[in-house]
Structure 1
């Protein structure tokens, strides 16, 4: 009985993937990119959890063909920042979406090729092979594995075709409502019999409170560091950024983040360290405190280029009464950062 249940589960999973490949083929045949540019963003509500995926049809520019479904307000914000060229982070590290793209065979992972073979599918040529990837901040784009994500991408593809069919003669009509709302396909949430309709909905507010959480530092350690101080140094510049050297640990490879502290006058790198994305708040705070302990001095000022970094070191600024300023220009740090990125990109470790 156990073996029969397992076989049924495997068959169900293959059927689900077959449905996804069929949806991708229908989407490609419809040539939705002939009618919609990537600026024609619309939403599809997930019937399971109510999250909205913001859809961007790719291919109008004749380069990358497919559909990207940006997940929730966080995903939408990265998309809008990219389109407005306001993103401080390379899209390779910041995108949060499910993506169908039509690529060449060489761009597929072995497991994807194996799955295509198991389903008895055949593709030939460039822009012909469907890939289904999860893009998540800090991680290498990876084949979708979660069944709920597969199901939502199927629905998003089907609804994208519906939206294009209705609005293809006048795609700008999806912008007819208020500027801060998006045409969104919403269902009755009856998963056995979904009925869809159009609504214009405002994205949910983005909660960034947890992005700034830093573990409280040991008060005794801070007091000891303060007692050991021997003077005041110059100006230090601090930043954190993704390093282009994927690390293969856990379920899928991730891009580590680097914390970097540079002396403004000498341009000398004073401290650096790597960690995974979710550990960067504590890492930055730890690097600064370790530097103060080692050098037994505090800087006259600290320059940072974004609010996140300021929040990461806030408790140290308060404890040592250090002034900090926010600026778009940190020349010494940018030079050091460029050197670090060149080093990693060259393949050296």
Structure 2
């Protein structure tokens, strides 16, 4: 039997029955997900459109006879007295997948009779910095909403597939569902903590803030990420000391905002960061858990701004303690930054001006050894990427068929609330995102919705469709700010809605200030 302390990660192999060669997906899922959530994952992973009924089938002990039960949505008038049925919205995976190799039969579209075998392959520790579900491997394209008999014939004749590309596409399709694992926590071994504190001590002794400003960035390549940690040294102003490693492309966008003085709100910037931070802090700034780690390692610190404090930042989530992966990333970044600082202290040299997109970098050569390089970033390419239309064509056509254009002009915007919410004890708190629409003519708020953090493009496009359904009309004009317009414009074009971009939205701004000032509520 699986033993667990909080949420675990289930590695499932999902295979379409009767497919030859087999069509399957290997997907990592939070063990505390509901079966309703697992159904959504399956639909996206196999390119289905959620247009038909579905059911999960399990066999109860003993394994002989007809001892089955089902997890499905069944209208009360159609429930059979002899059929044991549970609600997919209420049942969670770990209560039904008890042992590795446990399996369930998933049926979809009872006319076409699609069937999946869902087998639990292994149980993994969650990574608090990772988002789930994840597709880690896939074989062959999903069927979509086609006749099963035709698809089985066609797929058997196809021979060439880029399986890695298919896995990437499936994982991208899962983006709207990705979340941190519930109660995620992965113990960092003491030897790794000791290594990290030793690096923090070495960094502190070098006092790099005496020579470097926080806009003199050192980029360190992290092989496991196949990307860079962009390291900014804090302390030149004599107030906050330490190092912030901005992680990957999201972190790089954070850094651009910082380097070019485009921060409108420090709090909003902090909530948008993808970063890992070492702070040299005062004793009273440590949480009890931070002090307990130091004490358990037999370490001691004295004085102001001498206590190492480590935090991770994930966009939309509350700052949190390190995971095993983030401790590894920070250790590599600190090691390479320390090497550079020692050289600067003995043989001073100038770092490139990072505001122009040039970074002094530590990269790996063919011998897997770090050496110096100059990393050039095209800020325009990074920031002005083409935003895709992520709403399905079927959803757009459905809205156009069901709702008529109306002579309505709406303000539409999104903002994060400034008080974190925690769904479960020990789960990482998050900052809810509000989507609001107001009638431009009278200022009346006619729609609002609150979501957990997720991919912004998907959220704003699907929420706009929800707005249309809520008001039973397609507005002929929408007034937005620039960032919302960038992510919503592909959908507005499809719906033939006019748009105006403005710096301020008076009606929504008034609501926003009222909500932020009156929290908690």
Are the structure 2 counterparts of residues 41 and 232 from structure 1 closer, same or farther at C-alpha, using a change threshold of 3 Å? same
Are the structure 2 counterparts of residues 121 and 340 from structure 1 closer, same or farther at C-alpha, using a change threshold of 3 Å? same
Aligned to 2:67: none
Aligned to 1:159: 336
Query: Does the CA-based 8 Å contact 2:461-2:487 persist in structure 1?
Result: no
Deviation string for 1:186-227 (max 9, x for gaps)? 23476xxx743211122486485677633552633431222x
Matches within 5 A, 1:46-125: 46-87=222-263, 90-125=268-303
State which drifts further: 73-82 or 178-187. Answer: 178-187
Give the superposition deviation at 1:19: 0.7
Are the structure 2 counterparts of residues 322 and 232 from structure 1 closer, same or farther at C-alpha, using a change threshold of 3 Å? same
Aligned to 1:262: 438
- Distance in 1 of aligned mates of 2:441 and 2:188: 64
Are the structure 2 counterparts of residues 11 and 295 from structure 1 closer, same or farther at C-alpha, using a change threshold of 3 Å? closer
Matched, 1:200 2:374: yes
Give the superposition deviation at 1:94: 1.4
Report how many aligned residue pairs link the two structures. 328
- Distance in 1 of aligned mates of 2:348 and 2:248: 22
Q: Which one has the bigger helix percentage?
A: 1
Aligned to 1:7: none
Aligned counterpart in structure 2 of residue 277 of structure 1, from 453, 457, 461: 453
TM-score by length of 1: 0.82
Are the structure 2 counterparts of residues 209 and 105 from structure 1 closer, same or farther at C-alpha, using a change threshold of 3 Å? farther
Query: Does the CA-based 8 Å contact 2:246-2:276 persist in structure 1?
Result: yes
Matched, 1:134 2:329: no
- Distance in 1 of aligned mates of 2:485 and 2:355: 34
Are the structure 2 counterparts of residues 202 and 294 from structure 1 closer, same or farther at C-alpha, using a change threshold of 3 Å? closer
Deviation string for 1:307-329 (max 9, x for gaps)? 4445336435533x321122223
Which of 1 and 2 has higher RCO (CA within 8 Å, sep 6+)?
Answer: 1
- Distance in 2 of aligned mates of 1:11 and 1:299: 51
Give the superposition deviation at 1:304: 1.0
Give the superposition deviation at 1:51: 1.7
Give the superposition deviation at 1:160: 1.6
Matches within 5 A, 1:238-257: 238-249=412-423, 251-257=427-433
- Distance in 2 of aligned mates of 1:26 and 1:322: 58
RMSD over aligned CA atoms reads 3.1
Give the superposition deviation at 1:179: 4.2
Give the superposition deviation at 1:127: 1.6
Give the superposition deviation at 1:239: 0.9
Aligned to 2:46: none
Are the structure 2 counterparts of residues 281 and 270 from structure 1 closer, same or farther at C-alpha, using a change threshold of 3 Å? farther
Give the superposition deviation at 1:26: 0.8
Structure with larger Rg = 2
- Distance in 2 of aligned mates of 1:12 and 1:289: 44
Query: Does the CA-based 8 Å contact 2:359-2:374 persist in structure 1?
Result: yes
Query: Does the CA-based 8 Å contact 2:437-2:448 persist in structure 1?
Result: yes
- Distance in 2 of aligned mates of 1:178 and 1:108: 33
- Distance in 1 of aligned mates of 2:355 and 2:216: 15
Gaps of 5+ in 2: 1-185
Give the superposition deviation at 1:300: 4.2
TM-score by length of 2: 0.57
Matched, 1:338 2:508: no
Q: What is the DSSP-based 3-state SS (H/G/I as helix, E as strand, rest coil) of the residue aligned with 1:122?
A: coil
Are the structure 2 counterparts of residues 341 and 176 from structure 1 closer, same or farther at C-alpha, using a change threshold of 3 Å? closer
Deviation string for 1:169-189 (max 9, x for gaps)? 786711289943211112347
Q: What is the DSSP-based 3-state SS (H/G/I as helix, E as strand, rest coil) of the residue aligned with 1:232?
A: strand
Gaps of 5+ in 1: 1-9
Give the superposition deviation at 1:279: 5.6
Query: Does the CA-based 8 Å contact 1:116-1:122 persist in structure 2?
Result: yes
Aligned to 1:38: 214
